[in-house]
Structure 1
Amino acid sequence: MNKLFFISDIHGSLYYLKKILEIYESEKADYIIILGDELYHGPRNPLPKDYNPKEVSQILNTYKDKIIAVRGNCDSEVDQMVLEYPVMDTYSIFLYNNRRLFLTHGHVYNRDKLPYLNSGDAIIYGHTHIPLAEKQNDIFVINPGSISMPKEGNPNSYGILDDDIFKVKDLEGNTIKEISFNK
């Protein structure tokens, strides 16, 4: 079974990208799932720490064989021109241990507007910058938070899916949310 590493909302922060890639390496995950908003910070957000979308894209491209990504509301066709892996799809469906993982950014589908999923499937999204791990009508609803600009007093965070357990962790490795797919 693959160990999956989930990040969202990099927003062009070179500082947090480097930090999260060190964590990815130490977690020994197989793939990086990016839930959108890789390069641009968006007009509503302040500039993130060490904002450098050009270098962020260059570093992400070195991991292109390990990345599965979806488009965020701040991502554009111009971003696809510099990123060497697909980023323009609103969602992706990934099969994991006999369940569908519906991967999306969260600006179209989210906990308040679920896609059509079967009992036991999961929607995993970013966008809100707020960690979440809950079950809603027998669907797992998960958000790993934001690595660069968390909101509502939450820490910078990421997600790990390993052995049917999804953990949202802060950048020090502390589990802040957890949900088991076996329950």
Structure 2
Amino acid sequence: MSKLFFISDIHGSLYYLKKVLEIYESEKADYIIILGDELYHGARNPLPKDYNPKEVAELLNTYKNKIIAVRGNCDSEVDEMVLEYPMMAPYSIVLYNGRRLFLTHGHIYDRDKLPNLSSGDAIIYGHIHVPLAEKQNNIFVINPGSITFPKEGNPNSYGILENNIFKIKGLEGNVIKEISFSE
């Protein structure tokens, strides 16, 4: 069974991307799932630490065969011209141990506007920069938070899905939230 590594809302920060890719390597995950907002900081955000969209794209491209990505509200068509993997779809679906994982950024679908999912499926999204792991009407609703701009006093964070357990971790490795798909 694959070990999946989830990140969202890089917003062009070379500093945080390098940190999280070191964690990806140490976690020995099989794939990186990027839930949007890869290269640009967006008009509502300040410039992130070590803002460098060009180098962020170059670094992400070194992992192109391991990335599954969706489009965020700050992503544009020009981004796909420099990124060497598809990232313009508003959502992607991954099958994981008999359930659908609906991957999206969160500006179209989220916990308040769920797509059509079956009992036991999951929606995993970014956008709000707040870690979330809950069950809503037998649908798993998960947000790994943001690696660059966490909100509501949360730490910079990412997600790991392994053996039917989704853990949201701070960059120091501490578990912030956890949910089991066996529940």
State the TM-score bracket (shorter-chain normalisation): over 0.9
Q: Output aligned runs, 1:10-25, within 5 Å.
A: 10-25=10-25
Query: What is the letter of the counterpart of residue 81 of structure 1?
Result: M
| Cα distance, 1:175 vs structure 2 | 0.3
Aligned to 2:93: 93
Aligned to 1:32: 32
Distance 1:150 1:176 in 2: 13
CA deviations over 1:61-114 (Å, ceiling 9, x no partner):
000000000000000001010000001000000000000000000000000000
Aligned to 1:158: 158
Which structure 1 segments of 5+ residues have no match? none
Query: What is the letter of the counterpart of residue 147 of structure 1?
Result: I
Aligned to 2:141: 141
Distance 2:24 2:128 in 1: 22
| Cα distance, 1:121 vs structure 2 | 0.0
User: TM-score under structure 1 normalisation?
Assistant: 1.00
Q: Output aligned runs, 1:1-183, within 5 Å.
A: 1-183=1-183
Distance 1:25 1:93 in 2: 24
SS for the counterpart of 2:49 is coil
| Cα distance, 1:135 vs structure 2 | 0.1
CA deviations over 1:2-34 (Å, ceiling 9, x no partner):
000000000000000000000000000000000
| Cα distance, 1:117 vs structure 2 | 0.2
Query: What is the letter of the counterpart of residue 8 of structure 1?
Result: S
| Cα distance, 1:116 vs structure 2 | 0.5
| Cα distance, 1:44 vs structure 2 | 0.5
Q: Aligned-residue CA RMSD in angstroms?
A: 0.2
SS for the counterpart of 2:22 is helix
| Cα distance, 1:176 vs structure 2 | 0.3
Query: What is the letter of the counterpart of residue 138 of structure 2?
Result: D
How many residues align? The count is 183
| Matched-pair identity in % | 84
SS for the counterpart of 1:145 is coil
Distance 2:44 2:154 in 1: 18
SS for the counterpart of 1:42 is coil
